[in-house]
Amino acid sequence: MPTIQFLPFQQSTESDGRRTLLEMVRELGLPLQAACGGKKVCGRCRVIIEESRDLLPPPTEREREALGKLIEKGYRLACETVLSDEARVYIPEESQTRPPVILTSDGFGDFSIRLQPAVKPYYLEVPPPVLERVTADRERLLGALEAGYRLKKTEIDPLVLPQLPQTLRTRENQITAAVRNGREVVGLFPGREERLLGLAVDIGTTTLVVYLLDLQTGKRLAVSSALNPQIHFGDDIISRIAFCQKDPEGSVQLREAVRQGLNDLISRVVEDADVRPELILEAVVVGNTAMHHFFLGLETRYLAMAPYPPVVQESLVVKGRDVGLAINSSGYVRLLPLKAGFVGSDIMAGILATGLHKSRRVRLLIDLGTNGEIVLGNKDRLLCCSAAAGPAFEGGHVRWGMRASAGAIENVRIDPETLEISLRTIQDQPPLGLCGSGILSAVAEMIRRGILLAKGNFNPAIHSSRLREGRDGPEVVLRWKWESLTDQEIVFTQKDVAEAQMAKAAIQAGVEYLKEIFGNQPIEEILLAGAFGNYADPEDARTLGLIPVLPATKVRAVGNAAGYGACLTLLDKNRAKEADRIARKLEYVELAGNSRFQELLVDSLLFPGATDFKEFI
């Protein structure tokens, strides 16, 4: 990350005076973290002013609190800083948003797929026109489709039509027509072209994943992922919705950001697989409701207002060109159905991929993000809810929390005897903070060693050099200043424990509530979806109570189930109808304002693995 030079003219805006450094950095698209989306809460947007510090206005109270002695080293919070003169600004490594570690496992072995893509190639030899009875190119092509394949009343996309005369004549009237569902010609290729491609797209709040598949063989040709560029407008859904409400152009910016991000990924998979992008003739897109709406440019304001109605629920099929996706402009994009404001098509795809809706056994699917989406049921009944867990398990609202990227602590072990601490980080890099599984692991170990009690408070009877009083109450020092390259201590505080505790309680209460509605039938399998599910230790999750402690219950990480569901739908068009059936069958349970859920939430705050747990039940 080079130092950026800001010139004074860059900071003037047309109307309301000066912009903050954060806004300027954002505009340049630079990878500066701002978990709160610029709401001046998270304190992550630390930058170093390299020169002319004296020309800056003095640090605000928030900056003094958040940065302490770092201010002397030139650190400032970008969201608080308004430049009054030219400045050189450096974004230190810990403040950068970096490519996260993303799951792209090869989990297809689990599924038996009957290859039935929506778009198929039809090889044709089209008779040339004759003077006695002149038939136009289009009508001769459609005639050949009917004669050769019994496809009747087929249409041709008007944007394909201009390619027809030349394509037809390139290989002496031998041509391949890519026909969608037997009804519409969406692509034309000279001679024989067997390799038509499809794209499965998973739009996560944090991460975009794109899979490139061969529609004729089902083979996965490439996969690529990146941070959702909307991150620059806010880390979580609510920040982004708020951004749109503030700025009339906001939803356009968010729409273009995600489309650009996806198109960059498309370029990458196309290059990796060494194929032509015009061969991509179909895409399936999944995502949570807000991501779905942002992608389509739909209003999200009402998703954040009771009764939280989405703009659309059923599945949609739109032309690639109408949503600006860089596939063949005549290809279609299918968006799987949504259920509610916080139960999106990613869940529908996840159910599809895990087969919950066809299972005899009662199973529980948890996709843990900022909102924990929970599905409980079997082929007879499917319940779902969305628990507002908060971003703790994604590294948010935790003092040293961070996303799952290189240098993130993913595992914490505390020696039972000495209470000495050992850390494991992603890619074995020097530790920079804790990602979700690290936070889970830290809390679980503190519970096991008796450091934390059932209510989440530090046990005053336990003493260690690692335990001390900090500015947010008691804290454990995970890494001493002298162990650190960055000269910074990494601590885990009472306040951080409380964040994790709230998050796990929301999930736990959601699960409990669904269980009650389902008649308290035993859960036979727990499926953990998403990155957190893959990296989290199920034992840690049980220690916190995040997942039910049930005998004979298997816990299985299912990876990016939403992405798999999208791939499945791409390869077998009947899955789309199945997703529609799932959406209709799925019963959405609203937790907001529900008094029984509230009761369960309070009960769920306790840590079941704690030494004093039995005293409270």
Tell which one of 90, 108, 308, 616 touches its own copies (CB under 8 A).
Answer: 308
- Tokens for 548, please give them: 């039910």
CB of 136 to its own copies, least distance (A): 4
CB of 338 to its own copies, least distance (A): 7
Contact of 38 with 394, CB cutoff 8 Å: no
CB of 588 to its own copies, least distance (A): 7
DSSP category for residue 57 = P
Q: Residue 376 is which amino acid? A: L
Q: Is 111 in the site for its own copies (CB under 8 A)?
A: no
What CA–CA distance (Å, rounded) separates 94 from 357?
A: 43
- Tokens for 273, please give them: 């697989």
Tell which one of 9, 15, 54, 130 touches its own copies (CB under 8 A).
Answer: 130
Q: Is 301 in the site for its own copies (CB under 8 A)?
A: yes
Q: Is 461 in the site for its own copies (CB under 8 A)?
A: no
Within 142-171, the residues that bind its own copies by CB under 8 A are 158-159, 161-162, 164-166
Q: Is 316 in the site for its own copies (CB under 8 A)?
A: yes
Residues 6 or more apart whose Cβ sits within 8 Å of residue 79:
20, 21, 22, 34, 38, 40, 45
What CA–CA distance (Å, rounded) separates 150 from 147?
A: 6
Q: Which stretch binds its own copies (CB under 8 A): 232-240, 320-328, 466-474, 601-609?
A: 320-328
Preceding amide of 307 cis, omega within 30: yes
Within 586-615, the residues that bind its own copies by CB under 8 A are 588, 590, 593
Tell which one of 60, 104, 135, 216 touches its own copies (CB under 8 A).
Answer: 135
CB of 159 to its own copies, least distance (A): 6
Per-residue CA distances from 115 to 76, 85, 221, 571, 572 (Å): 56, 62, 16, 5, 5
What angle do helix axes 237-246 and 289-296 make, rounded to 10 degrees? 40
Q: Is 382 in the site for its own copies (CB under 8 A)?
A: no
Ramachandran angles phi, psi of 62, nearest 5°: -60, -40
CB of 41 to its own copies, least distance (A): 28
Sign of CA pseudo-dihedral 353, 356, 360, 361: positive
CB of 248 to its own copies, least distance (A): 11
Q: Is 617 in the site for its own copies (CB under 8 A)?
A: no
Within 334-363, the residues that bind its own copies by CB under 8 A are 338, 340-341
- Give the chain's length: 617
Q: Which stretch binds its own copies (CB under 8 A): 30-38, 206-214, 308-316, 452-460?
A: 308-316
Q: Residue 446 is which amino acid? A: M
Size, binding site for its own copies by CB under 8 A: 43
Q: Is 262 in the site for its own copies (CB under 8 A)?
A: no
Per-residue CA distances from 472 to 125, 224, 399, 490 (Å): 76, 40, 10, 14
Q: Is 416 in the site for its own copies (CB under 8 A)?
A: no
Q: Is 247 in the site for its own copies (CB under 8 A)?
A: no
Contact of 492 with 434, CB cutoff 8 Å: yes
Q: Is 134 in the site for its own copies (CB under 8 A)?
A: yes
Tell which one of 27, 65, 247, 299 touches its own copies (CB under 8 A).
Answer: 299
With residues binned 3-state (H G I as helix, E B as strand, rest as coil), the percentages for the chain, rounded to 5, are 35, 25, 40
CB of 94 or CB of 587, closer to its own copies: 587
Tell which one of 129, 191, 355, 430 touches its own copies (CB under 8 A).
Answer: 129
CB of 141 or CB of 529, closer to its own copies: 141
Q: Is 278 in the site for its own copies (CB under 8 A)?
A: no
Q: Which stretch binds its own copies (CB under 8 A): 128-136, 395-403, 415-423, 451-459?
A: 128-136
What strand order describes the sheet that includes 363-368? 554-559, 525-529, 363-368, 371-377, 382-388, 587-588
CB of 131 or CB of 617, closer to its own copies: 131
CB of 301 or CB of 554, closer to its own copies: 301
Query: Residue 97 in 3-state DSSP?
Result: coil
Tell which one of 54, 58, 114, 131 touches its own copies (CB under 8 A).
Answer: 131
3-state SS track over 483-509: HCCCCCCEEEEHHHHHHHHHHHHHHHH
Residues that bind its own copies (CB under 8 A): 129-131, 134-139, 158-159, 161-162, 164-166, 296-299, 301-302, 306-314, 316, 318-319, 321-323, 338, 340-341, 588, 590, 593
